[in-house]
Amino acid sequence: MSWTGNPERDIADVMRLLYERGIVQVRGGNASIIDREKGVVYMSPTGIPRNLLDPRDVAIVGLNGGVIRGKPTSEWRMHLAVYEASPEAKAVVHAHPPHLLALSYRGLLPDPQYLTEVRVGARCIHLVPYAPPGSKELAEKVSSTIKATGCNALILERHGALVYSDKTIYHALDLLEALEDLSKIMLLMGK
C-alpha cells in the first residue's frame, strides 16, 4: 500500500532513504508495492542509481511476472513470491544492510529483545538458506519460509534482508532500518 497514494513516488523515496542511510549500495536493494485490485506490482527498476531514482523509473509487473512497464529489479521473482505467500502483504523492501550481514556471518540473527522497534514490527525473524540472488530457487525458499513461519522479517543467508508490511512501504522501511540498528547494537555489545 502506498503512503501518499502514489506508489511510484513512495518507492523512489524509500530507495533514496535506504541509500542515504547506507543500507544499500548505489545500485543495490529493491522495493515494491502491490495493487491487488489492479493485479500489478510496482517495483524499483534495475540499473538506476538509488539516489537518482525518479518515480517515472519505477517498473510495473503483472502478478504473473509479465512486465507491463520499465525494467524491474532482478529480484522480481522474490517480490512476487512474498505477495503470493502472504496475501496480507502490501509492500516489500530488500536490502544489504552491512551490520546485519556482519551479524549473520557470525551465525547470529538480530535478537528483538534488545530493541523495541523490532519487537513491535517483526512478527518473527527467520533465516532463509542461501540461493543465488534473483533466482527462482531464492523466490521458492522465501515463499516456503513465509508459509511455514509467518515471519515478516527474513535474513537471506550471505545476501541481505527482506521485510514486508501489511500496512505501507514506510512500515517495511522502518522495520528494515530497525533490524540494521539492532544488528549494529548487538555488534557493539560484542554479541
Active-site amino acid positions: 75
Q: Which three cell numbers stand for residue 77?
A: 521473482
Asked if residue 95 lies in contact with residue 161, where contact means CB atoms within 8 angstroms, the answer is yes
Task: Give the torsion through C-alpha atoms of 94, 100, 102, 107, to 10 deg.
Answer: -100
User: Of all helices (H) and strands (E), which one includes residue 179?
Assistant: helix 169-188
DSSP tally for the chain: helices H, then strands E = 6, 8
Output phi, psi for 98, to 5 deg: -65, -40
Q: Which three cell numbers stand for residue 95?
A: 536490502
| 7, 54, 93, 117, 180 from 165: Cα distances, Å | 14, 23, 9, 14, 17
188: Cβ contacts below 8 Å, ≥ 6 apart: none
